[in-house]
């Protein structure tokens, strides 16, 4: 079994930064696909960034150059550094891991507003 717990969300001004962290428990290896997704009110859940095939990273066009996904194997965390935040980044952010099936965290709210 896999459990995912996100942290680091909150309220930030436009142009500010936040770092999200997902604590991963269970039998997870670097080969397992994992990533961050987000869902804004009234919109579909979308992929923000992911890591597949151990180290290959992918980013949504909307966040390229601003967000960085990383995995800390020693700490068993999946992190998302978010810089130059915009109001349109406001959403609930979810951690995702695949291990025989999909696993999702509970989500953490990110609000970008002045």
Alpha-carbon distance values, 66 to 48, 58, 81 (Å): 11, 13, 8
How confident is the model at residue 62, as a pLDDT? 98
How confident is the model at residue 74, as a pLDDT? 87
How confident is the model at residue 71, as a pLDDT? 93
How confident is the model at residue 101, as a pLDDT? 93
What string of pLDDT tens digits covers the 114 residues of the chain?
899 999 999 999 999 999 999 999 987 777 889 999 999 999 999 999 999 988 899 999 999 999 999 999 888 999 999 999 999 999 999 999 999 899 999 999 999 999
CA distance 82 to 79: 10
How confident is the model at residue 3, as a pLDDT? 94
Q: Cβ distance 60 to 48 under 8 Å? A: yes
Strands 10-12 and 102-104: unpaired
């Amino acid at each position: 079994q896999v459990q995912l717990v996100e942290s680091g969300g909150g309220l930030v001004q436009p142009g500010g930064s936040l770092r999200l962290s997902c604590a991963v428990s269970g039998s997870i290896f670097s080969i397992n696909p994992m990533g961050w997704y987000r869902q804004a009110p009234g919109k579909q859940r979308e992929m923000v960034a992911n890591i597949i095939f151990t180290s290959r990273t992918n980013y949504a066009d909307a966040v390229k150059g601003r967000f960085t996904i990383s995995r800390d194997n020693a700490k068993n965390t999946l992190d998302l550094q978010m810089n130059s935040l915009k109001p349109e980044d406001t959403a609930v952010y979810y951690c995702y891991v695949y291990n025989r099936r999909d696993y999702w965290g509970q989500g953490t709210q990110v609000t970008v507003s002045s």
